[in-house]
Amino acid sequence: GGTCAHGGFGFNAVEYVESAPVCTRQSYPYRALDAGTCDVSGCSEAVPKGKITSVVRLRFTWNADAQNERTLQQRLFYQPVAIGLRTSLAFHFYESGVFHGPCDSEDGESLVNHEVLFVGYGRTEGSGYWLVKNSWGLTWGEYGYMKLAQAPGERGWGLCNIYDDAWYPVVGDGFGPPTPPTGCCDGCPGSAFCSPVSGSCYESKNKDYYESCPVDPSPSPTACCAGCPGSPFC
């Protein structure tokens, strides 16, 4: 498989899965290692080999943040996008809320030094943000996610240079998403949402990572109705 030494680029990862299956996170979890090789021989396949047919790079325009925002939002309407960006110590120690920078890395030169997955966007307290999925575990940020401000950067490529390096895969026809694994919803019958962290049940989605739970539209009969078969009321 491909090498994992010294990190890598989003394009290489997306290009790699053109010729290899995509594993489920449960069967092939992320491990923070500086070396090693990709080994998919024993994983459960989420996307079979050959279903990713091509890799497309999003094209952005220098110093055109409003236009670039629309371009990225339009693509995120259909699927997540792998994006290279510039991180900093403030980025590394992010905990919650909307991150407004700074994004200057220690080397002071590179435009991109990390790869993440953009999965959506929204607004909170009057501020637009990108919802970013990182790969540093569930204890980083908001359960592994960050809200990155939709804001101009110092070099004309958006905050943290997000408009410099963006890729997404094209998946062939006839492929549907796998059945999601059993999660916290099993312990929350009748609730609209649940937390995969604590297992608690909620009626509203207060956190981005809460899971949506199916609610049975047919309420179960009350206790007295069960004792009145054939009667319309009890």
> What are the distances in angstroms from CA 77 to CA 81, 88, 132, 172?
10, 28, 14, 18
Could you read off the pLDDT of 99-143 as tens digits, one per residue?
998 887 555 566 788 899 999 999 987 889 999 999 888 899 999
Predicted pLDDT of residue 172: 74
Tell me which H or E stretch contains 165. Answer: strand 165-171
State the average pLDDT over residues 142-168: 90
> 169 and 17 in contact (C-beta within 8 Å)?
yes
More confident: 15 or 23: 23
State the average pLDDT over residues 159-180: 73
CB neighbours of residue 149 within 10 Å: 17
pTM value > 0.75: no
**Rounded percentage of the chain residues whose pLDDT exceeds 90:** 24
Domain ranges in the chain?
57-171, 182-218
> 82 and 134 in contact (C-beta within 8 Å)?
no
What are the structure tokens assigned to 101, written together? 């920078």
Helix ranges (H only) for the chain are 10-16, 65-76, 89-92, 223-226
Predicted pLDDT of residue 179: 39
The CATH H-level (homologous superfamily) assignment of domain 57-171 is Cysteine proteinases (3.90.70.10)
What CA–CA distance (Å, rounded) separates 86 from 97?
19
